[in-house]
Structures are given as C-alpha cells and as structure tokens.
Chain A
Amino acid sequence: MKHALVIISMFFAGMAVAQTKFESAMGRGLEQFKAAKTVDDMTTASAFFERVGDAEKDKWLPYYYAAYSYYLTGWMNPKADKDKVAEKTKDLISKAEAIEPNNSELYCLRQMAAIQQMTVDPMARWQTYGAEARAALDKAIKADPNNPRIYYLNGQTLMNTPEAFGGGKAVAKKLFEKSLELYKTFQPASPFHPNWGKEEAEKLLAACQ
C-alpha cells in the first residue's frame, strides 16, 4: 500500500515536473531578475527570458520580462545608448504583442521605452517621444483602465514635466493616489504576471506631499 502511494505520488510529481518546466524557468528567471545588481546580470536575465519566449512561442510573459529587464539596463548603465536599448526593447515588446495583442501591460512598457528615449534630449525630443508615450498610455487605458501601473507611469512622467507644460507635483499626486487605490484590489492573474510599481508609487506620492 505504502509502495503504491509512493509510486502514484512519484508519478504525479513527474507530471508536475513536466508541466512546470516553463514555470520553473520563469521562477529562475525572476530570481535572476530580482537579484540582478549589474548591467551584465540584467542583460543575462533579459536574454534568458528571451530564450524562454523563443522556445515557448505562445507565451507573452517571457518576452514581457525580457523587454522590461532590457529596458532597465538603459537606466542602470549611465553610458547606455538609450536609442539602441529602446530599439531592442521595442523589438521584444513587438514579439510579445504578436502573441498577446492589445495588452495593457505591454502598452505600459511601450510608454516606458518612449520616455527613456525622450530623456536623451528632452527639449528636442518631447514632441516625438512624448507623443509616442502618450499614445501608448491611451491604448493601455483602453485595454484595461484598472491597471494601476498606467497611473503610476503617467504620474511619474508628469512629475518630471515642468508646470508650464502641464506637469508638476499637484497633477502627479492625483495620479499616484489613483494608482495606489487600484493597487489595493489589484490581483495579478498568476504569480508570473506583472505585479510591480506599488512601492515606487508610494515613494513618489510621498515626494509629492
């Protein structure tokens, strides 16, 4: 009897192993991603997610994280050519969008990539990349108005926009408040779905006070 139980449980364990090859890879990837301290670590994490995405073909999350981590290298490396980083980031987002069209989180990433490019030369670039960023957020809202990251990202952008151009702390504050309100009820669809931004929103809200 004991034997039978062991055999059965091992059988199920084996199934579970097979099923979670992807999940364990995602888990490993996210660990790498969270532990990444250097640009190289982050690039390695991004490349890993990209490989998972390439192998899976029908999962958008690996590409999401590949794009997100690659985007972060653009901030981690002060000497990064942000246009090149954005080119790769956007390429990865496009791959994710091909699998999961019209996803609010992916539009948010597009906004982030555009803002990163804008910071290269804000005075000269806000018209082009600012518009690109706004268009992305508009789509993100249409896809899911309850995504808290939309309001966090928009708040962050407006916080760094001069008041004379419609930005400023007062405007940003409202957005952070809205974002945090949504975080209260926000539940990621799986442990691997995007679930970041709450602490950042709290920090920036505090900075707006």
Chain B
Amino acid sequence: MKQFAILPFLFLMAGWASAQMRVTGTVKDNRGHILAGASVVVKGSYDGGVSDSTGHFSFKTFEKGAQTVVASNVGYKSMELPVTLGTETVDLAFSLKEEVSELKAVTVTAGSFEAGDKKRAATVLSSLDVVTTGGANADISAVVKTLPGAQQVGEQEGLFVRGGAGYETKQFIDGTLVNNPYFSSVPDLAQRGRFSPFLFKGTVFSTGGYSALYGQALSSALILESIDIPERSEAQASISPIFLGAGLQEIAKDKKSSWGMQYGYTNLVAYFAIVKQKPDYFTIPEFHAGDANFRIRTKKGGIIKYYTTLATNKLGLRRPNIDDPSLKNAFGLSNTNWYQNLSWRENLGSGWKMNLGLSYSTDHTSFTNQIQNQNNIPVTTGQVWIDSTNVAAKTTADLSQIKAVFDKRLSGISVIRFGGEYMYFYNKGVFNNYTGLLREHFKSLFSEADLYITNDLAAKLGVRFEHSSLINKANIAPRLSLAYKTGNGGQMSIAYGIFYQKPENTYLYATTNFGYTKATHYIINYIKNTTLQTFRVEAFYKKYEDLVKTYPAYNNDGTGYAKGIEFYWRDKKTIKNLDYWISYSYLDTKRDYLNYPGQLQPNFAANHTASLVMKRFVNSINTGFNFTYSFATGRPYYNFVKNGVKYEIADQGKTISYNNLGFSLNYLMSMGKAYAVWVASVTNVLNQNQVFGYNYSHDGTRKEAISTPSPRFYFIGLFLSWGVDRRQDAINNNL
C-alpha cells in the first residue's frame, strides 16, 4: 500500500522534470560589449543563471506561461523581457544600460595629479608617499618635484612648473590661498614648506588647466585638503640631533570632535658641528613652531576645522663677496609667521552643499645684508656696486580672506558650483630708508559646472571673474575641460583655460601701473589606471602674454611660451612589495621678461627632467627602504650687462646636468608602550656635483657656481607615539 501511495508522487515529479524549459541568451552592455557575471532570473522564481565569460547564459526552469526574465549586473540598470514559456527553448538578448555613478564616471584629469582617497582610481600620492620618498625629508614640495612637470630647482624654494617661475605656483589649503607656504627666502638656498604632510588627506598637484575655483597662478596650483577627525588619540614625541618635538591629539569618545597641539624646536648647532657647511654661520638656524587644531563634526554630517600655526626662525650666514674676495657678505634673517585657517563644510539639504573658508596670516621678516672684512667688521668700500648691497629691511605681509563655494547637485551626478572670495592683502616693506606700502582688496566670483553626459563623457566648464583694487583692473578667465573614457581604465582629457596673475609685489612697490600677466593653457592627456598601476602621458602648450618687463620700462610687454610632453608610470604590481614610479618631462620654453634682452630659455628651466622613485618595505624586518634618483639636463645661465640703453648677454652657458640620489630608511618597532619609527635619510648619496647656476661679479670677470651649502644632508630621528586607540574601544569594552 505504501508503495502505491508513493507512485503517483514519483509520476508527478517525472512530469515536472520533463516539463523543464531551457532559457538561453546573451548579456551585453548598450555598446555591445560582453557582460560576464550578470545574473538572469525568471522573475519571482528561483530559476536562473549567470552569464559566462562569453556573455552567454543557459538555465532550466519549471515556470510556465507568461513570465518575465530579468537580467541584472552591478553598475547597470536591470532589464526585463517578457516571455511565454511553452515547450520550445527561449533565446533572449539583453542589452544593459550603464548607470552613471561617481565611482565609475570618468574624471577630468587633464593637467592634474589627484592624490588622496577621494577617488580610488586617481590616487597618485598619499601622505605616506610623502614621508617615504627617499631624500625628500617629508617635504611636500620635494616629493611633488618627482612628478612630471616640476623642475629640479635647488637654489630657491617654490615649484617651477612647465616653464613657469616659482611664484606662478600657488598653494591652497581647504580652498584658501596660503600667502607664505615656505620658510622665508635665503639667497641661493631653497627653504622647506611650512606644513607637515600629515595634516593633509589629499593633494592635487595641477600643472595646468585647473578649476575656476582657483586663480592668480599662471602655471600651477597645489591644492591641499586637510584631514577630518583623526583615527586615534595619541601623544607624540620626536627626537633627533636637529629636532625635538612633542604633540598631543585628543579625540572625543563619540568621535564627533577632536583637538590637538604640537610644538617643535629645530636647532642645527650640533649638526653643523659634525657636517661642515660652506657658508660660515654666525647665527645657527633655529626654528620654533607650534600648532593647534580642532575639528567638530556637525549634526548634518558637515565638519568645522580650525588649524593654526605660529613659527619663528632666525639664521645668519657669511659668504665671500663675489666682487671682492677679501670681503664677505653677511646675511641675517629673522621671521615670525602666524597662519590660521577655519573651514566649514556643510550639507544644506536638497542637493546643496557649502564650503566656507576663512583664513588669516601675518608674516614678519627682517633681514640684513652687510659687507664685512675678513675680521667680520662692517666696512664701506666706496664702490657703489658693493656698498649698495648693504641692506637692512623689514617686511610685513598680511592676508585676510573669506571664500564661499556652493554646490548644487543637478540630475545624476552632475554638479554646478559657484561662489566668491574676498582677500585683503597688506604688504609693507622698509628697505634701508625707503618704505613701500601696498594695500590690496582682491575680489573674485566664479562658477563651474561638472557635467556627466554619460559615464564615459564628462565636461567641466568654468568661468572666473577677478578684480584687483591695487592695479584697478578686472579680468574674466574661461576654463574648459573634457574627459572621455576609452575603456579598460583608460581615458583621454583635454583642457583649455586662461589664467591671470597680478605682478609680484617686488614690482608693484615700484609702480602699480601694471596689468595682469596672462597665460593660456592647452592640454591633452591620456591616463590609464588599473588598481596598482598608473600610466599617464600629457602634452601641453602654454602661451605667455603681458609678462612683467623691468627694462627699458616697467610694463607688461613680456611674452613667452612653453610646450612639452610628460610621462608618468607608477607600478605596485610587477615586483611584489616594490612600489616605484618614473616620471619624465620634456620642456621647450622661452620667455622675454624682466631685463631679458629678448626671448630666452629662462634660467630655471631644463629641457629634460626625470625621476625614479622606489620604495620597498620588508615586512620580516619591519623596515622600509626608499630611493629617489632625480636627473635634469643643464639649465642655461646668463650675465646681462647694460650697454648704453639696452641689456646685452655678456656671458652665457649651461650648467652641468643635475643628478641626485636620495635614500631613506624607516624602521618600525615598539618601545615599551610606544610605537616607534626610526628614520634615517641622506641626500646626494653618490656625492655628485650639483650646480644650479652662476653668480657674476659686477664687472663680469668672476663667476661662481651656486651649489648646496654642503654636498649632502643627513637626517636621523626617532618618532614615538603613545596611542589611546579609540579604534578598539567598542571591542575592548566587551572583552
């Protein structure tokens, strides 16, 4: 009896099996590319399959009659097809439309290197990259110089980008301009940047064609974005023969706010005692720097960030006088700089966002240059060209600014953004008996749209209006870029833009009867990104107009151009645990500016520049080894001499090529309760002769090479941190 009862059941099941229907077909995207791994299902049932690597799928179903088959894939809009399931195999063709998403959409990359975690694909340099670049000594600018577009200029600070002078690059922190990003200039000695790389989560190095949100930089913008609430509360200490520092960072229990402060003291007395310096330092360089910050997360998910740093430093050095070797130039400098930045980022709801930036900085420098004899006693020679170099000067540079940017999300991920800024510059210079005073009210308005037409095509259209009260002139600068995704992580971009910059204060002290200097950028770029590799090539043409001339008169009659091509390759994949990048820049540039007698290749521009950066962390010994090799062909140098009513080139030449191998080592360990990092680094490991240019005597009979004060710079230090690891709080409370 039991057997009989089961029988009809078996028949029923057999009947089901025979009624199984096959559904087959293909899944492609709307451009006809195969989509593997797409899910296909008879709606409302468990029956379905997955498309294979050829885009085909095939599955059986028990469903009958009028049904719907759905194909779906992440990043695509699902597609439904009505079918009638009878007795015949059903063949279906799906064509899925890609969804426009921030993660997948093309980014406009012409001209810029985005570094940070904003967008995975664009990551080029992180703060970790900065501190682990051999020979860069954790200086952001030094690392940026290993990217294409920047010159290896060692005799003065600043980023010399694509045939532009150092002052043509501006730095911005959280949107606002930084007036004095470097420690005060010392003749023939490049100074470090003031800001620690750990303050920033993202860096965009734009070598041209940048956004309408930024202005007053003819060549380049270094856009730094500060970190939000840090991960952990900690106390830190740094110990090195040249540097002592201590700091504290406290994060609230709810992780909604944090505050911190730091102090550092640098003194090179011990270092100079060991490593001989060419100049005779009568005031050993000494720096005090303190900073403080707070960050508060707002209820709507916005954040308010405040950062301030106060630094003072002094130094004094003697070098032989070029006109008379029996005399010395004694240069002394002291500087105090206070910088504050307050920013507020907020979601205003219904697609609106606000970025508000306030900043204030004041910089006081006094420097002297004194002609001294061999006994270091001031002398007067009676020769004007020597005596006139006796200088006692004091400068004050204040900048107060406010900037507001509003974002409104349009359909999809397109965004329109607009805003304005107001800056008040106060500059006072007292040179010997001469006093110069410049007051500038600078206003700008800007608007920009990021338009995502599809995932593969995006445009950035912007315009910027500026007015300077000092030169009493306005300008309107259009910016445009387009990006097109070519597939497989590759994309092409083009950019065009006009950039204006008012003349440097040095010239404005003489006369404010100037117009804006002007550069027009044309850029084309191809970039291919895979997870651990980046390839980038970019060609550019830049036209300079209205550059400052100082002879025969102060005016805007200067002209110039720069063109070139640049390559960049970063690879973390090929060799395990080795991260390296190679950059190469070719530059052809000439300009007629200042007292140049005609269009010449400027003395800060080399034709070929290349860098190789290698980093390897060996886990088994907790040690990182970092090498950087930089190379540049020789740069031109000139001696212009006034002959009657014009300047002539009395002498010219090219420096030897520049080579520098930098090395650094990081060793991680724990010491008691502290995490410790030992850092050792040295520049110019191979002791190669470095010449950045030449100084000429007044009569042109003597010339002297400009070089580094000592062949190498060594650093060794221990960085300790005692962390109260808030990351583990939730877990530890339950242990």
Q: Give residues in A with beta carbon < 8 Å to B.
A: 2, 6, 10, 25, 43-44, 47-48, 50-52, 54-55, 81-84, 87-88, 91, 120-121, 123-124, 127-128, 131, 134, 137-138, 141-142, 145, 150-151, 154, 162-166, 174-175, 178
Instruction: Say whether chain B's binding surface is mostly helix, strand, loop, or mixed.
Output: mixed
**Nearest-CB distance from B65 to chain A (Å)?**
17
- Near A by CB (< 8 A), chain B positions 526-575 give 531-532, 572
**B46, B619, B725 pick with most chain A CB within 10 angstroms:** B46
A selection of 6 A-B contacts at a CB cut-off of 8 Å is: A51-B47, A52-B46, A83-B531, A124-B128, A142-B730, A174-B735
| Interface range on chain B (Cβ under 8 Å from partner) | 35 or more
Q: Knowing A51-B39, A52-B46, say if A166 contacts B728 (CB, 8 Å).
A: yes
**Would A131 and B231 count as touching, CB distance under 8 A?**
yes
Q: Knowing A87-B74, A141-B734, say if A164 contacts B675 (CB, 8 Å).
A: yes
**Would A121 and B668 count as touching, CB distance under 8 A?**
no
In the assembled complex, B702 has its CB within 8 A of some CB on chain A: no
Instruction: State in angstroms the CA–CA spacing of A16 and B14 once bound together.
Output: 20
Instruction: State in angstroms the CA–CA spacing of A165 and B117 once bound together.
Output: 20
Which listed residue, B5, B46, B572, B727, touches A55 by the CB 8 Å rule?
Answer: B46
Our count of residue pairs bridging A and B at CB distance below 8 angstroms stands at 94
Residues of A within 8 A of B37 (CB): 43, 88
Instruction: Say whether chain A's binding surface is mostly helix, strand, loop, or mixed.
Output: helix
Which listed residue, A50, A141, A164, touches B731 by the CB 8 Å rule?
Answer: A141
What 16 additional pairs, Cβ within 8 angstroms, besides A128-B117, A166-B728?
A: A43-B50, A44-B50, A51-B41, A51-B48, A54-B70, A83-B531, A91-B74, A123-B579, A127-B126, A142-B730, A150-B731, A151-B731, A164-B669, A164-B677, A166-B725, A175-B735
Q: Knowing A47-B48, A131-B231, say if A163 contacts B731 (CB, 8 Å).
A: no
Q: Give residues in B with beta carbon < 8 Å to A.
A: 1-2, 5, 37, 39, 41, 43-50, 70, 74-75, 103, 117, 120, 123, 126, 128-129, 201, 231, 531-532, 572, 579, 617, 619, 622, 668-670, 675-677, 723, 725, 727-728, 730-731, 734-735
Residues of B within 8 A of A127 (CB): 117, 126, 201, 231
Q: Knowing A54-B41, A164-B669, say if A124 contacts B5 (CB, 8 Å).
A: no
Instruction: State in angstroms the CA–CA spacing of A100 and B731 once bound together.
Output: 23
**Would A141 and B730 count as touching, CB distance under 8 A?**
yes
Residues of A within 8 A of B727 (CB): 134, 166
Q: Knowing A83-B120, A164-B669, say if A55 contacts B44 (CB, 8 Å).
A: yes
Which listed residue, A25, A87, A131, A145, touches B734 by the CB 8 Å rule?
Answer: A145
**Would B74 and A6 count as touching, CB distance under 8 A?**
no
| 9 cross-chain pairs, A with B, having the tightest CB-CB distances, nearest first | A164-B668, A138-B730, A47-B50, A51-B48, A128-B117, A51-B41, A164-B675, A88-B74, A145-B734
Residues of A within 8 A of B103 (CB): 87
**Nearest-CB distance from A9 to chain B (Å)?**
9
**Would A124 and B123 count as touching, CB distance under 8 A?**
yes
CB closest chain-A residue, reference B232: A166
Q: Knowing A134-B727, A166-B727, A174-B735, say if A51 contacts B46 (CB, 8 Å).
A: yes
